[in-house]
Amino acid sequence: MKLWEKGAAVDAMMSEFTVGADRAMDVRLARWDVVGSIAHADMLVSVGLLSALDGARLVATLSDLLAEIDSNGFVIDDGVEDVHSQVEQILVERLGDIGKRIHTGRSRNDQVLVDLKLWLRHELRTVRRAVVETAGLLLDLAERHRDVSLPGYTHYQVAMPSSFGLWLGGHAEALIEDLSVLDMAIHAANANPLGSAAGYGSTFPLDREATTRALNFDRVHVTSTFAQMSRGRTEKLAAMAIAQVASTLGRFASDVVLYMSQNFAFVTIPDAFTTGSSIMPHKKNPDVFEVMRARCNRLQALPTEIQLVLGNLPSGYHRDLQFVKDRVIPAIDEVALCLAVLQHVVPHVQPNPSIMQDARYRYIDSVDRVNGLVMQGIPFRDAYRMVADAIANNTYDELPAAPSGAAQAHLGSVDNPGIDELRTRLRRAL
């Protein structure tokens, strides 16, 4: 069944090629297609395009279908083009001609738009909650390990003292910042396109504000042309949010992979979270974080992929836009999976409390030595040269130690990682 069929035979290869993965993706949109149809049916009754009795029967049948979807899932039959066709076919099977009235004042263009926006709004909010939970978990771990020393590196060279509190807090803060990008994407999805029809409105007296209220959108797309142009644009903004979160997760995963290597030995992971080698008995590989890094790196390509689909399209609907759907839906699943796996594994990452005893960190407090000399009245550049010469001449241990009780007291430093401030920001984000 195809809603656009006019009786002429359709070439089978052409049909399969143009449908692509739509049926598989549309199953995910089914409940939202029904939700949108309920709001549309109610609106048709309110403007006199559908009798109250017919509207009530449509809404009741759609409500039953919604309950069936939530309990048992949804199947698109072979030969049925998409979710919209399947839902309408079910309505016709159960209600006869009344079911055919559901498409009044609507096009598949605004129908798929409302499905996608409702689905994206729901799924992005779910991802947002997972990001908040993950940031909170990292802050809990930062608090637990705040005083465990960790060498800081720049250019892959030993730099200055850090701590696990500072490291974990930094990744938590990145996730808190990522929430603003997610909020941008959620805002883009939170606009009602129903009533824009094929992109140029309708001669029917539709009440677009009524469906906006019914579907709890925070606004209506004013122009029918922009409503249509939001197809692809909304998904691209969602992809940018996904990519931003993936960037943060991927960077954290990369840190753990590095820190687990024997050359660093900053952290350990229980055997249950590692894999082995087929020929090297000693190997314990951090595959879970390597796979997470790869998944997250791949997700960061998503905005570019979508932009390449949109790049040379004029305004109006084009079939090209269908091939954005089968990228953004799996991508949201994947970033949600990465967040869930990180929450499952990261509490088991154990810091090494004796890292700083290694001789390679002999000079890691050189900046503190410089600052100690400055506190004694020596100009900074002279103090810097004195410490550099002592390192070069192997007389570093003869330098005055950093002042007793010296601490990095400012916000965001080793001795004051700002965990409470980050918790406050996270609470505000809720």
Give 300-359 pLDDT, tens digit per residue: 999 999 999 999 899 989 989 989 999 999 999 999 999 999 999 999 999 999 999 999
Q: Are residues 139 and 248 in the same domain?
A: yes
**Domain for residue 2, yes or no?**
no
Residue ending a domain, among 61, 86, 104, is: 104
Q: Which two tokens stand for residue 213?
A: 């209220």
Token pair 């066709």: residue: 85
Residue 1 has pLDDT above 70, yes or no: no
Residue 114 has pLDDT above 90, yes or no: yes
Nearest to 177 by CA among 111, 248, 257, 71: 248
* 277 in active site: yes
Q: Is residue 267 within 8 Å of residue 350, measured between CB atoms?
A: yes
pLDDT at 399: 86
The CA distance from 266 to 285, in Å, is: 15
Q: Are residues 343 and 382 in the same domain?
A: no
pLDDT class of 8 with cuts at 50, 70, 90: low
Q: Tell me, rounded to whole angstroms, the distance of Cα 154 from its chain centroid.
A: 29
pLDDT class of 4 with cuts at 50, 70, 90: very low
Q: Is residue 427 within 8 Å of residue 177, measured between CB atoms?
A: no
SS3 277: coil
CATH number at residue 87: 1.10.275.10
Cross-strand pairs, 153: 158
Whole-number CA gyration radius for the chain: 29
Give 169-186 pLDDT, tens digit per residue: 999 999 999 999 999 999
Q: Are residues 71 and 197 in the same domain?
A: no
Instruction: List the helix and strand counts (H, then E) for the chain.
Output: 15, 6
pLDDT at 129: 98
Q: Which two tokens stand for residue 118?
A: 């409702």
The CA distance from 76 to 82, in Å, is: 7
**Domain for residue 290, yes or no?**
yes
Residue 57 has pLDDT above 90, yes or no: yes
The CA distance from 135 to 132, in Å, is: 5
Structural domain for 374, as ranges: 359-416
Residues 117, 122, 127: CA angle, nearest 5 degrees: 120
Q: Are residues 37 and 173 in the same domain?
A: no
Nearest to 42 by CA among 57, 64, 27: 57
pLDDT at 405: 53
CA torsion 90-93-98-101 (nearest 10°) is 40
pLDDT class of 277 with cuts at 50, 70, 90: confident
The residue-averaged pLDDT of 118-146 equals 98
Q: Which of 15, 63, 277, 354 is catalytic?
A: 277
Q: Which two tokens stand for residue 15?
A: 């049909």
Residue 58 has pLDDT above 70, yes or no: yes
The CA distance from 281 to 286, in Å, is: 15
**Domain for residue 219, yes or no?**
yes
**Domain for residue 428, yes or no?**
no
Q: Are residues 135 and 83 in the same domain?
A: no
Q: Which two tokens stand for residue 427?
A: 């609470």
What pairing do the DSSP bridges indicate for beta strands 191-192 and 219-220? parallel
Residues 128, 232, 200: CA angle, nearest 5 degrees: 125
Token pair 């699943």: residue: 333
Q: Which residues are CB-contacts of 35 (< 8 A; sequence separation ≥ 6)?
A: 66, 118, 215
The CA distance from 95 to 305, in Å, is: 42
Class of residue 49 by CB neighbours under 10 A (exposed 0-12, middle 13-18, buried 19+): middle
The CA distance from 5 to 396, in Å, is: 84
The residue-averaged pLDDT of 394-413 equals 78
**Beta strands of 285-384 (E only): which ranges?**
350-351
CATH number at residue 198: 1.20.200.10
Q: Are residues 384 and 348 in the same domain?
A: no
Torsion sign (Cα): 420, 421, 426, 427: positive
pLDDT at 235: 97
Residue ending a domain, among 333, 357, 381, is: 357
Q: Are residues 295 and 410 in the same domain?
A: no
Q: Tell me, rounded to whole angstroms, the distance of Cα 84 from its chain centroid.
A: 27
Q: Which of 155, 278, 282, 410 is catalytic?
A: 155
Give 251-274 pLDDT, tens digit per residue: 999 999 999 999 999 999 999 999
* 37 in active site: no
The residue-averaged pLDDT of 365-384 equals 93
Instruction: Work out how many domains the chain is built from and give that number.
Output: 3
| Residue 65 backbone phi and psi in degrees, to 5 | -65, -40
pLDDT at 97: 96
Q: Are residues 388 and 372 in the same domain?
A: yes
Residue 49 has pLDDT above 80, yes or no: yes
Q: Tell me, rounded to whole angstroms, the distance of Cα 346 from its chain centroid.
A: 18
**Domain for residue 427, yes or no?**
no
Q: Which two tokens stand for residue 406?
A: 């010296």
Q: Are residues 93 and 19 in the same domain?
A: yes
Q: Are residues 128 and 256 in the same domain?
A: yes
Q: Are residues 280 and 294 in the same domain?
A: yes
Q: Are residues 330 and 370 in the same domain?
A: no
Integer angstrom CA distances of residue 420 from 146, 149, 413: 12, 19, 13
**Domain for residue 292, yes or no?**
yes
Q: b/e string for 359-387 if b means 16 or more Cβ within 10 A?
A: eeeeebbbebbbbbbeeeeeeeeebbeeb
Give 192-233 pLDDT, tens digit per residue: 999 999 999 999 999 999 999 999 999 999 999 999 999 999
Residue ending a domain, among 57, 89, 104, is: 104
**Domain for residue 98, yes or no?**
yes
**Domain for residue 1, yes or no?**
no
